[in-house]
Structure 1
Amino acid sequence: MLFPTMAFALFFLVVYAVSWSLERENERRKAFLIAASWFFYGAWDWRFVGLLAGSALLNWGAAQLIVRADTPTIRRWVVGLGVAANLTILGFFKYYGFFVEQGGALLHLFGWERDLPLLQVLLPVGISFFTFQGVSYVIDVHREKVAAAKLLDVTLLMSFFPHLVAGPIVRASHLLPQFERTPTVTREMTAHAFLLIAWGLFKKTVIASELSSGIVDPVFFDPGAHGAWDLLAAVYAYAVQIYCDFSAYSDMAIGVAALLGYRFPRNFDQPYRSASLQDFWRRWHISLSSWLRDYLYIPLGGSRGPLWKGCRNVLITMLLGGVWHGAAWTFVAWGGLHGVVLAFERVWRAWRPAATGRWASVLGVVVTFHIVCLGWILFRAESFQLALDYVEGFARVTQPAALVTPFLAVLIAGGLAMHFLPARAAERLAGLVRPLPSPVFGAGLALVLLAVEAMRPEGVAPFIYFQF
């Protein structure tokens, strides 16, 4: 069930009406939201609802054992087993086929032919997101950053449909306290929520969809058939597409949750205006980058100790971040590229003082953006060979552009320009429209939605991050 569809609109109208009718009965309201979330998830494949419920039970049980453990040693063993159980589930569904294939290739390399058991394992939508959600909850209980919660609350934490299949990864310390109290919604929250939903619909159904079908998909499918200008335009278009696609889901998730009375953290903050790759990861998929920082990078040692150890830790973190995105060597290479550049930035800052001035900042934005785009080629390409073909194609500068139309050029330019709008523009706009009478605001919103519906192409492709 996709957000920008009539099916979801009808589903949400029912959820909205019933949940607010249970406003004064918080426990029953949470139970209803769990049932609605399982229905939402089951619309993809009902067989995995049991996996979702079992994952919640696993993490609730691990947290209960942690708080009841008699000694620190037992607590460490329990948290270790809880994290291992979560990662085992993730590893089986997401990486089983990859590891079997690589094992077979390794045996073949040494001349040992073996028929390894290759099962057709269907990847549950959003498993990486709700697994990381569970891991962070268990670790935070162990670190005493959050109290062990009731089974009902943990189940809703793991299953809540706005963030279930593509994030953001909302920490237990942020969401559980909201579940414990009666939800409220203000007029400003409502205005902000509707603006985020409308903005997300436009980014997903107009910008991302048009760029995907118009240039990104045909060029990445066969980069050898296109010249340098189409290849350059397509990688810029993919940079805009993946941002608009993923940030649109986050915007709509934040807006939908707000209409139900819950606040989610921001997940994107104009990432393509970053003057360094470190700054890019403070602005891109913030919930994942902060998760990797708090639960992987810092436990590895963070920036403590010699410079080389900090570089090692950031490289390991980004390699594993690449693996999180997919079971393919192209994702590992993508993470490795980011890790190497982040390590280089650390060495550069240690040896030279930071450059200041407007032009240094502009140069930093341009260089960072093109490093990110180089990484997007690895991220989007189906294989290393296609990624190599793509890069080699930049030498075909004499071949004219065949796919770049004025409309697509405007979408690419507009998608990049939105990163340089005033910060927190949606919040500011919400503050301006909040005093409007409800009929006026509703009519304006309806006109915006009708305009989006008129501009968007037929059909709605799944969000890119559903595959992760």
Structure 2
Amino acid sequence: MLFPTLGFALFFLVVYLMAWALNGSNEWRKIALLLASWFFYGAWDPRFVALLFASGLGNWAIGQGIVRARSPGTAKALLTIGIVGNLGILAWFKYAGFFLEQLSGLLHDLGLERDLPLLQVVLPVGVSFFTFQAISYLVDVRKGRVPAAGLLDLMLLMSFFPHLVAGPIVRASDLLPQFRRSPTLTRGAVAAALLLILWGLFKKAVIASQLAADLVDPAFFDPASRSSLDLLIGAYGYAVQIYCDFSAYSDMAIGLAALLGYRFPRNFDQPYRAASLQDFWRRWHISLSSWLRDYLYIPLGGSRRSAARTYLNLFLTMLLGGLWHGASWGFVIWGGLHGGWLAIERFWTRNRPGHWPVAPRWVGVIVTFHIVVLGWVFFRAPDIAAASGYLGALAVGDWRNTLVTPLSLALVVGGLAIHALPVATLPALAARVRRWPAPAVGLALGALILVVDTMRPEGVAPFIYYQF
């Protein structure tokens, strides 16, 4: 069930009316939202609702065990069991087939042929998100950052449909306190939420979808038949597409949760304006980058040890962050590229000669953007060979016979332009809209949805991050 569809709109309308009708009883409200979330997840594949239920039940039991443990050693052992269990779910569904394939190739290269089983494991949508959410919950309970949640609250934390399949990774400390009280809804919150949803709808249905159909997919499908200009604009186009696609999901998730009375943290902050890769990761997929920092980089030692260990920790964190995105060497190279450059940045910051001038910010923005775009080629291509072929065809230097259309070029430029809009634009507009009469808001919303529907290409492609 995709957000930008009529089916989801009808589903959400029912959930919205039901949730506010039950607002007098917070427990019944949460039960209704949990059942609706399972229905939402089951619309993709009913079999995996059982996985979601079992994961929630298991993490609740371990969380309760941690707070009731009679010794720190027992609590630590339970935490280890919980982390291993969650990572086991992720490893089986996401990586078992990949590692078996790599093992088969290695044995073949060594001349040790073996008839290994061929695994075709269906990847549950959103498994990476709800397992990471569960791990952070258990760690925070063990460290005393949050109290152990009740069964209903933890189930809803992991299953809540706005963020279930593609984030943001909302931490227990952000959402559990909101679940413990009956929410309220103000006119200003409604205006801001509707604008966020509409903005996300436009970015996904018009910019991201049109770029994918007209420019990005053809360029990556057969780069050898394209000119270097096509491939260059195609790489820029994918940078815009993935930003508009993923930030659109986050905007819509935040807006949908707000209409139900809950606040999600912001997940993007104009990432292509970053002047360094470290700054980029403070702005891109903020919930994941902060998770990797708090639950991987810092436990590895962070920057508290030697300089060499700091560089290694940065590299390993991003390498594993790349692998989190999927079982592919392309993701590993993408993560390694980011980790390596982060280490180089940290080395340069520590060792830059004092007499060397500091480069202007715009230089850092341009360099950082192009490193990110280079990484996106490995992220988007189906495998390393395809990524190498893309970069090789780009380097040929054939700038003739371009197939880039004025519309595609306008979408790339326009996507970068709207990405750079002042952060206060939507809040300022929401402050105006909330003073409008309700019928005027409804008419304007309907008219804008019709405009978006007219501008978008046929069909609705899944969000890119659904595959993770």
CA distance in 2, matches of 1:423, 1:355: 34
1:196-221 superposed Cα distances (whole Å, 9 cap, x missing partner):
00000000000000000101001101
Question: What TM-score do you get using the length of structure 1 for normalisation?
Answer: 0.98
After TM superposition, the structure 1 = structure 2 runs for residues 435-454 of structure 1, keeping only pairs within 5 Å, are: 435-454=435-454
Aligned AA (2:462): P
The one-letter amino acid of 2:249's match is Y
**2:37 is equivalent to residue 65 of structure 1:** no
Output the CA distance in 1 between the equivalents of 2:452 and 2:207: 10
- The equivalent residue for 1:314 is 314
Distance 1:110 1:389 in 2: 27
Q: Which residue of 2 aligns with 1:52?
A: 52
User: Within 1, Cα distance between the matches of 2:208 and 2:224?
Assistant: 23
| Residue number in structure 1 paired with 2:267 | 267
* Secondary structure of residue in 2 paired with 1:299: coil
Letter of the structure 1 residue corresponding to residue 388 of structure 2: L
- Secondary structure at the aligned position of 2:167 is classed as coil
Whole-angstrom CA distance in 2 between matches of 1:424 and 1:91? 41
- In structure 2, the CA distance between the partners of 1:355 and 1:18, relative to structure 1 (3 Å rule), is farther
For residues 400-421 of structure 1, give each alpha carbon's deviation from its aligned partner in whole angstroms, at most 9, with x where no partner exists.
2432111111110011112321
**CA distance in structure 2 between the aligned counterparts of 1:425 and 1:457, rounded to whole angstroms:** 27
Residue 107 of structure 2 corresponds to 107
Tell me, yes or no, if the aligned pair for 1:315 and 1:339 is still in contact at 8 Å.
Answer: yes
1:251 — aligned with what? 251
Contact 1:166 1:249 in 2 (8 A): yes
Q: What are the Cα deviations for residues 252-276 of structure 1, in whole angstroms up to 9, with x where unaligned? A: 0000000000000000111000000
Residue 350 (structure 1) aligns with: 350
Alpha-carbon distance in structure 2 between the residues aligned to 1:354 and 1:427: 44
SS of equivalent to 1:168:
coil
Question: Are residues 15 and 356 of structure 1, via their aligned partners in 2, closer, same or farther at CA, if it must alter by over 3 Å?
Answer: farther
Query: For the residues of structure 1 that align with 2:357 and 2:146, how far apart are their CA atoms?
Result: 41
Match of 2:394 in 1: 394
| C-alpha distance in structure 1 between counterparts of 2:376 and 2:356, whole Å | 27
Separation (CA, whole Å) in 2 of partners of 1:394 and 1:381: 14
Cα distance in 1 for partners of 2:386, 2:136 equals 36
Q: Once the 2 structures are TM-superposed, how far is the Cα of residue 117 of structure 1 from its aligned partner?
A: 2.0
Q: Percent identity?
A: 62
Cα displacement string for residues 315-343 of structure 1 (whole angstroms, at most 9, x for unaligned residues): 00000000000101110000000000000
Partners of 2:201 and 2:160 lie apart in 1 by 21
Q: Does 1:222 align with 2:222?
A: yes
Question: Aligned partners of 1:354 and 1:34: how far apart in 2?
Answer: 60
- CA distance in 2: counterparts of 1:368 and 1:309, whole angstroms: 24
CA contact (8 A) 1:330 1:378 kept: yes
Provide the rounded CA distance (Å) in 2 between the counterparts of 1:355 and 1:377: 33
| 1:160 equivalent in structure 2 | 160
| 2:373 is aligned with 1:373 | yes
Could you tell me which residue of structure 1 aligns to residue 186 of structure 2? 186
Query: Equivalents in 2 of 1:316, 1:336: separation in Å?
Result: 8
TM-score, structure 2 normalization:
0.98
**Equivalent runs, 1:29-108 vs 2, <5 Å:** 29-108=29-108
Cα deviation, residue 375, structure 1: 0.1
Is the CA contact (8 Å cut-off) linking 1:314 and 1:342 kept in structure 2?
A: yes
Contact 1:195-1:430 at 8 Å conserved across structures: yes
Per-residue deviation at 1:105?
1.2
Query: Hey, what does 2:25 align to over in structure 1?
Result: 25
* Structure 2: gaps of 5 or more residues: none
Which residue identity lines up with residue 304 of structure 1 in the other structure? R
Q: Which stretch of the first structure deviates more once superposed, 258-267 or 417-426? A: 417-426
Corresponding position: 1:277 with 2:277: yes
Q: How does 1:230-245 map to 2 (within 5 A)?
A: 230-245=230-245
Higher mean Cα deviation, 26-35 or 423-432? Answer: 423-432
**Matches of 1:208 and 1:217 in 2, distance apart?**
11
Residue 356 of structure 1: how far off its partner (Å): 7.9
Unaligned runs of 5+ in 1: none
Cα offset, 1:432, TM superposition: 2.6
Using the TM superposition, name which of 367-376 and 416-425 deviates more. Answer: 416-425
Secondary structure in 1 matching 2:298: helix
Q: Could you tell me how far apart the structure 2 residues matched to 1:75 and 1:354 are? A: 52
The equivalent residue for 2:116 is 116
- Residues 241-299 of structure 1 show CA distances to partners (whole Å, capped at 9, x for unaligned) of 00000000000000000000000000011100000000000000000000000000000
Displacement after TM superposition at 1:390 (Å): 0.9
| CA distance in 2: counterparts of 1:268 and 1:201, whole angstroms | 16
Residue pair 1:188, 1:431 contacting (<8 A) in 2 also: yes
Amino acid paired to 1:93? F
CA distance, structure 2, for counterparts of residue 394 and residue 456 of structure 1: 29
Q: What is the aligned-residue RMSD (CA, Å)?
A: 1.3
Q: 1:263 is matched by which residue type in structure 2? A: R
Distance in 2, Cα, partners of 1:354 & 1:102: 49
Give the deviation of 1:422 after TM superposition. 1.1
The residue number in structure 2 matching 1:382 is 382
Q: 3-state SS of the aligned residue for 1:300?
A: coil
Contact 1:214 1:403 in 2 (8 A): no
1:72-98 per-position Cα deviation (integer Å, ceiling 9, x unaligned)? 111111001100000001100000000
